Amino acid sequence: MARRVDHSQLLAREELVSPPILPSQRACDDHSFELPGALYIAMAGLFFGFVIVLSLTFAGHMAVSFGVIVAFIAAFFTVPTIFAHAGPARQRRTRQIGWAEFVDNGVATATGRTSGRDAAILVLLLPALIFCFGVAVAMIGVVS
């Protein structure tokens, strides 16, 4: 059963501590996202390709739905771009990583450093599978 603990009781038991001091460098200061622009372009192309394949196959049935999906995909890539360029120029110290630097150094992940080739495969795997799914659904739709 829960019971209410008074502020003075916490002080008496020395359970209150002062808040930690924030470091001068915050994690959100880096707006580069650590991936080259070519990966974002390829990812957007695969997502738009999925929508284009399905909209060409089922043109008359779901035009409005596909328009909404295209708007969401565009927002998915536009909003982070705006975010990366927001703020004063002196605070945007980081630049977007180049393709050669990405291949040489890779990226840091939660489980350690990943090579550039492996990171590109991981980033593009799901969009490629989604595109292939769209092609499969279109082929089934045309045959049926």
**DSSP per position, 18-47:** PPPPPPSS-GGG--STTS-HHHHHHHHHHH
Of residues 37 and 131, more confidently modeled: 131
Domain boundaries, the chain: 31-143
Of residues 45 and 96, more confidently modeled: 45
pLDDT at residue 1 greater than cutoff 70: no
Q: Are 94 and 32 in contact (CB under 8 A)?
A: yes
- In this prediction, residue 110 has a pLDDT band, given cuts at 50, 70 and 90, of confident
SS3 59: coil
CA nearest 105: which of 28, 34, 43, 30? 34
AA identity, residue 114: T
pLDDT at residue 28 greater than cutoff 70: no
Q: Are 134 and 127 in contact (CB under 8 A)?
A: no
DSSP assignment of 74-134: HHHHHHHHHHHT-S-GGG----PPPHHHHHHH-EEETTEEE-HHHHHHHHHHHHHHHHHHH
Of residues 98 and 19, more confidently modeled: 98
State what percent of residues in the chain have pLDDT above 70.
84
pLDDT at residue 41 greater than cutoff 60: yes
Tokens of 131: 């595109």
Tokens of 139: 């082929």
pLDDT at residue 92 greater than cutoff 70: no
The tens digit of pLDDT for each residue in 52-66 reads 999 999 887 788 888
